Amino acid sequence: MLNRRAWLRQAASPWLAPLHAADRRPNIIVILADDLGYADLGSFGCKDVPTPHIDSLAKRGVRFTNSYVSAPYCSPTRAGLLTGRYQQRFGHEFNAHPTKRFLEAGGDPENQGLPLTETTVAARLKQAGYATGVVGKWHLGDRTKFHPLNRGFQEFFGFLGGARSYFPGDQTGAGRPEVLRNFDPIKWDGYLTDLLAGEAAAYIDRHQKDPFFLYLAFNAVHTPMEASEKYSRQFQSIPDRRRRTYAAMLAAMDEAVGTVLEKLRNTRLEDDTLIFLLSDNGGPTNKYAVNGSINTPLRGSKGDTWEGGIRVPMVLQWNRRLAAAVYDNPVIQLDIAATSLAAAGAAPQPDWKLDGVNLIPFLSGRAKRMPHRDLYWRFGDHMAIRRGDWKVVRTWDNTQPELFNLRRDIGETRNLAGQEPARFKELMAAWNKWNATLVPPAWPRPEVDPPK
């Protein structure tokens, strides 16, 4: 193992130097929740749903208070996460499953998925000697060429579409809902969140002697709103029926995280495992599969470029290397790929063109500046840019871009564009410059429920 002094020498550079062959490289687990509200974890202020296992990651690791995703809904966020690049650079701007509108517009479902021009972090880690596996929801294309086993993963257990029932007898869902082991459909029983937990634990067991990368993508707490009796009976005191079911689904996911952590402890791997946990977007409170989530104190919902659509709960734990902390500077899910590769000792190449950065120097205190000067969003005709405390945003319910100071006004209630015209103009110019580097969306945006 590297001693602390050697670690700090490596952490002082933007990328870690390759590790000595005798040193075990960290395992890496990325846990992605689906449609989790910003205020729905105990470590982020939730009062009515205990989440002790997820909160333990926040307590022992780093809790990010300004963490973002690069899209306000499912598939594009995943494309950005697994490539470390703004997904708008390669056309993956909207959800990847054929819809009526997509087909009517002449879209070709054969080409709707994470473009083959892009390389995933799994493929890069596989090349670096890591075992790579994905458990859960894929939602990056359901044709064979987009299958996880053709995108850098060596093992897959889950479903290819955007949603499905939590019980085996019902195929309700978007896209391909059947549960697969690698390429083959399987028969299964029980509650899906529990099933995914068991599969993740089994993956760790199989690869405990390898450095491994596990992408655990829950479909919880996405619709359909379905909970097992085991979890439902804990929340009978919650009066709202939808929130009550949501609480049970979240409790199941927290228990699943606990199963993974218990396996790491039993195999004595927890201290040497870099764990990320985050949501793929804000909670859907008024459109896109409303589920009973809460985004307080943020404005907006999944599908918005308001904070409620793009700011998410995120924690990171790496016990051997990083002390417990709260980190307030803005970060984004694009940083996960860069951080994982750095931790694995994989040297970056300029032609990878990563937009994310290695967070370790910033979290260790060796790098004093902010990880990002600017963060950007484009979602069709919706946009946003954040620079420091300032944000410009245009989304469903404001036809013109508006300027907000998030430190003073996290709820985005006071438009300061008229009071700060120079700052507003500067941020719009920066966004326009970034936007000029992007390609058009590769397929149309699916139909959506109008905001309520």
CA distance 290 to 299: 15
Q: Which of 329, 430, 434 has its CA nearest to residue 388?
A: 329
Peptide bond into 348 cis (omega under 30): no
CA distance 19 to 291: 44
Helices (H), 106-240: 121-127, 192-206, 229-232
Q: Which two tokens stand for residue 356?
A: 């994310």
Q: Is 222 an active-site residue? A: no
CA distance 276 to 32: 8
CA distance 76 to 214: 20
Indicate which residue of 53, 74, 97, 222 is catalytic: 74
Q: Which residues pair with 132 in a beta bridge?
A: 213
Indicate which residue of 53, 139, 207, 382 is catalytic: 139
Q: Kindly report the three-state secondary structure assignment for every residue of 31-56.
A: EEECCCCCCCCHHHCCCCCCCHHHHH
What is the Cα Rg of the chain in Å? 21
Helices (H), 99-221: 100-104, 121-127, 192-206
Q: At what angle do helices 192-206 and 241-266 cross, to 10 degrees?
A: 10
Q: Which of 200, 196, 170 has its CA nearest to residue 263?
A: 200
Residue pair 381/397 in contact by the 8 Å Cβ criterion: no
Q: Is 74 an active-site residue? A: yes
Catalytic residue positions, numbered: 74, 139
